[in-house]
Amino acid sequence: MATPLTIAEIIDLERYPLEGDTPARKVLLASLKVDLAARQFCALPGFFRPAALQHVVAEANANRAMANDNISRRNCYFEQKTDPDLPLDHARNIMMQTGNRMLGYGHVPKPSPIRSFYHWPEIRRMVAEIVGVAKLYENQDPWQPANILIYEPGDLSAWHFDSTNAFTMTMMLQAPDAGGEFQMVPDTRSDRDQNYGYVRDVLLGKRDDAIVEVGRTPGELCIFRGCNSLHRVAEVRGDTRRIMGVFVYETEPGVIGDPVVNATVYGV
């Protein structure tokens, strides 16, 4: 078994000084917190070092056969059935084709830079401060904590909202040859207002002026408000897979996922 990479070999700690409570750390996190509040996302390019990226991409490709193929037609709320009581052009009745491949935590090798990164306490502390919560906890589900999301050529992720979590955290591990752009519409809805009319207009291409394209380079960590901001991944083109890391932290301890969701997303 290969010697595990250390945190310093995985994360560029010179560029991102996360240990302790140094002035440099405070300045960095304050800036990221401002970005998240103003734009609904913040990005940390070059967060993973090249050697760690190479390691994780090799793992993803070697274990591709264990990934669950998620190909479906759904609305932006992940519902696969229309509602006959609503108008045909209601946001809940606009169905879109989507497809990607999910390699769940249980299939991520031990040790892996993805696992080491996820379990490093300083990452939870960093994210908690950026998103404005007192403390974050590791997800305790056998499949959900840290995943690898694979897009084959032709795959895409149609417009959608994420779960009820207040934030989503992902990392670009490998960019495709072309396509695969990450786009979002900040503040599409709120906790008090589903804003169905506006959501419908985005889905129908009537509010392209509101779309923000978030640049993603390999090794770049991104934290965004995916619960209230519609977002999508454009169709991947070329011969190279688009590979992402997806990380789930919780605001309370002991969270385990719904078995039905796990069966659908991870195929277990």
Q: What is the pLDDT of residue 268?
A: 85
- Segment 192-202 mean pLDDT: 97
Q: Dihedral of the CA atoms 147, 150, 156, 161 (nearest 10)? A: 0
The mean pLDDT value for 155-173 works out to: 93
Q: Convert the pLDDT of each residue in 118-143 to its tens digit.
A: 999 999 999 999 999 999 999 999 99
Give the H or E element holding residue 264. helix 259-265
- Greater model confidence, 66 or 166: 66
Strands (DSSP E) found in 104-226: 137-138, 146-151, 157-160, 168-174, 178-179, 182-185, 212-214, 221-224
Longest dimension (CA), the chain: 58
Average of per-residue pLDDT across 9-22 = 97
The yes-or-no verdict on residue 261 having pLDDT over 70 is: yes
pLDDT per residue as tens digits for the range 77-95: 999 999 999 999 999 999 9
DSSP string covering 29-72, please? HHHHHHHHHHHSEEEETT-B-HHHHHHHHHHHHHTGGGSEEEEE
Tell me the pLDDT of the chain averaged across its residues: 95
**Distance from C-alpha of 156 to C-alpha of 98, rounded to nearest angstrom:** 6
Q: What per-residue confidence (pLDDT) applies to 23?
A: 98
Q: Which of 100, 95, 102 is nearest to 155 (CA)?
A: 100
pLDDT (0 to 100) of residue 264: 84
Average pLDDT over residues 242-254: 96
The pLDDT of residue 216 is 85
pLDDT at 1: 56
Query: Contact 219/50 with Cβ under 8 angstroms?
Result: yes
Q: CATH fold of 7-265, please? A: Jelly Rolls (2.60.120)
Give dist(CA 163, CA 168) in Å, integer: 9
The residues spanned by each domain of the chain are 7-265
pLDDT at 2: 67
Kindly report the length of the chain.
Answer: 268
203, burial (CB in 10 Å: exposed 0-12, middle 13-18, buried 19+): buried
Please tell me the predicted confidence (pLDDT) of residue 165: 79
Percentage of the chain modeled with pLDDT above 70: 99
User: 169-189 pLDDT, tens per residue?
Assistant: 999 999 999 999 999 999 999
pTM: 0.94
Beta pairing partners, 43: 222
